[in-house]
Structure 1
Amino acid sequence: METSDATCIRMEEAMVLVRGTRLLAGAVVVACMVLVGPSAPSDALFGRSVPVDAVRDVVPNRVMTWNICNPCEAGNVGRAAEIATYAPQVIGLQEACVRDVEMIRDYLKSLHGLEYHVEYGTVLRDWGRCGGAPWNPGAFGQAVLSAAPMKDAVKVEYPDGGSEDRGYMAVTTMVGGQPLRVFNTHLAQRRQEAVRADQTRVLAADVARHDRAIVLGDFNAVPDASELAPIWALAADTDPECRPLSVGACKTTTDWQSKFDYVFLRGIAPLRHRVQSTPFSDHDLLHTDVDPAFSAGP
């Protein structure tokens, strides 16, 4: 007999086939509650409950970056609840499987009433990470969800990904009522500094073409790492206290107490930011509110 957890996962996947149907979402919730049983903690099914002071609608000038961790034993219901708590206009996800992103988007709509468009920057097809049939594995990489439509999407695979294919993506979408170019990247893994240096040069060349841009991502490097110099020359971190030489001033964003996740702003002023720990990933959520009407230099 199939386990209750496996059945819930199958029901979760089935929701993708009926996008945006609140009735189906409710049926899944009720069915899984019956299968899991009343003894299970309330967050076993839903992940972290959305707090009472959570944002109720999309915040038009808020952007977020989050490495959602893969492979990790984390449910997409919980991931969606974390995003819905802060309801950013734009979300950049890393280590994202297409199927997971589809489920997250469905849950954001059906359970939280938040509708997002999605673009993918997947660069790897990996059965081990993303499931699927061995001859048709799931796609893995980056994704951007935006409350506004996106255009001019590009996907670039770095010439050298290091130990795993890596790349960046870019879209043009609305943030704070202004059209902005938004980049999302995931650089090579730790202890691959030379590879990341080549990657940041590729990324910086594209960012430099835009007077105003937001660069999201997991850079796998601390602020004073030499390989980040091309990005620092073009943009500033959303935290005005965080700079390459600001020892101890940059808030960490990972379970191992390093700052690897950034919202770099080029020609855009930051207003406020927050790093929020989460049980669903080894990376924290990082979101920031910006004012596109005012410029800020690197």
Structure 2
Amino acid sequence: MVLGRITRLLVGAMTVACMVLVGPSAPSGALAGGSLPVEAVRDVVPNRVMTWNICNPCETSNVDRAAEIATYAPQVIGMQEACVRDVESIRDHLENLYGLVYHVEYGMVLRSWGRCGGVPWSPGEFGQAVLSAAPMTDPVDVEYPDGGSEDRGYMAVTTTVGGQSVRVFNTHLAHRRQETVRAGQTRVLAAEVAEHDRAIVLGDFNAVPDAPELAPMWALATATDPQCRPASTGICTPTTDWQSKFDYVFLRGFVPLRHHVHPTPNSDHHVVRTDVDPT
């Protein structure tokens, strides 16, 4: 354990040294990806949650992904299209560069050499992941009976947000133009969410707010963007580069305080974060 930590610290120090030698990559002097200064060590925001489809395959460094997360320092992050190796690297960078320590649980749905690398007989695992500043218990990893054109599923853990114990779900529904498949997946997910009076559901649902397949979730929970509802007449902020609202934070037993969508060059999905208040 001691040797492992020393190794991680050395890797972090080498990374910082490389950054100093190379210098800033943006005209303003900021590091690439809008990262915080390396010396900025901060605590997580205990009532903040975040969902982010990190894009895979994409040519994005895990240093930049970690910087994106460290900018907002949420208590809980749900990531989709994640490879185990990438998540391990992101977690190490968060600790070594920013002093942010997270626990991690995985909801892997397939092994994919094309997406996650590895060797042909041992490809990397691909799916969802949850990072939490507080320990997590009772993890489950469920594949949907019908994944559509690619295996899909949800994961769930029990952890702490805003000082309250909560069941956190993270999911990624079937690709666009597979409405019937997504409807079945949403029914499976909603049945499990309904078992909990206090729940947070994060994910890429691949569906706009008024899509019929999301009806089971709207019947159970409140989304954190007040302008993005099935019958909303306001301006719904898109969460993807193709200007669609696909990424959601649904709440049961919590009230949304502040909701933000942050476009990023590090993925084709924007960062979605919300500060919440337990009722």
Residue 92 of structure 1 aligns to a residue in which SS? Answer: strand
Asked if residue 224 in structure 1 is aligned to residue 206 in structure 2, the reply is no
Residue 67 of structure 2 aligns to a residue in which SS? Answer: helix
Note the C-alpha offset of 1:191.
0.3
Q: Does structure 2 conserve the Cα–Cα contact (< 8 Å) formed by 1:218 and 1:262? A: yes
Spell out the pairing of 1:1-298 with structure 2 (5 A cutoff).
Answer: 21-31=8-18, 46-50=32-36, 56-292=42-278, 294=279
Once residues 288 and 198 of structure 1 are traced to their aligned partners in structure 2, the CA distance between those partners, rounded to angstroms, is 27
Q: Does structure 1 conserve the Cα–Cα contact (< 8 Å) formed by 2:24 and 2:30? A: no
Residue 21 of structure 1 aligns to a residue in which SS? Answer: helix
Once residues 133 and 71 of structure 1 are traced to their aligned partners in structure 2, the CA distance between those partners, rounded to angstroms, is 17
Q: Does structure 2 conserve the Cα–Cα contact (< 8 Å) formed by 1:22 and 1:111? A: no
Once residues 253 and 159 of structure 2 are traced to their aligned partners in structure 1, the CA distance between those partners, rounded to angstroms, is 16
Residue 47 of structure 1 aligns to a residue in which SS? Answer: helix
- Aligned pairs, how many? 274
Residue 47 of structure 2 aligns to a residue in which SS? Answer: strand
Moved more, 67-76 or 234-243: 234-243
Q: Does structure 2 conserve the Cα–Cα contact (< 8 Å) formed by 1:20 and 1:106? A: no
Note the C-alpha offset of 1:29.
3.8
Once residues 172 and 6 of structure 2 are traced to their aligned partners in structure 1, the CA distance between those partners, rounded to angstroms, is 28
Residue 182 of structure 1 aligns to a residue in which SS? Answer: strand
Once residues 152 and 40 of structure 1 are traced to their aligned partners in structure 2, the CA distance between those partners, rounded to angstroms, is 42
Once residues 205 and 15 of structure 2 are traced to their aligned partners in structure 1, the CA distance between those partners, rounded to angstroms, is 37
Q: Which amino acid aligns with 1:199?
A: Q
Relative distance call for 1:131 and 1:241 in structure 2 (3 A) is same
TM-score, normalization by structure 2: 0.92
Q: Which amino acid aligns with 2:208?
A: V
Once residues 6 and 181 of structure 2 are traced to their aligned partners in structure 1, the CA distance between those partners, rounded to angstroms, is 40
Q: Does structure 1 conserve the Cα–Cα contact (< 8 Å) formed by 2:109 and 2:151? A: yes
Note the C-alpha offset of 1:20.
7.1
Note the C-alpha offset of 1:254.
0.4
Note the C-alpha offset of 1:162.
0.5
Note the C-alpha offset of 1:240.
2.5
Q: Which amino acid aligns with 1:115?
A: V
Seq. identity, %: 73
Note the C-alpha offset of 1:278.
0.6
Q: Does structure 2 conserve the Cα–Cα contact (< 8 Å) formed by 1:55 and 1:85? A: no
Q: Which amino acid aligns with 1:27?
A: M
Q: Deviations over 1:209-251 (max 9, x none)?
A: 0111000000000000000000000001012232111145321
Q: Does structure 2 conserve the Cα–Cα contact (< 8 Å) formed by 1:20 and 1:109? A: no
Once residues 131 and 56 of structure 1 are traced to their aligned partners in structure 2, the CA distance between those partners, rounded to angstroms, is 33
Gaps of 5+ in 2: none
Q: Does structure 2 conserve the Cα–Cα contact (< 8 Å) formed by 1:19 and 1:106? A: no
Runs ≥4 in structure 1, deviation > 3 angstroms? 17-20, 31-34, 37-47
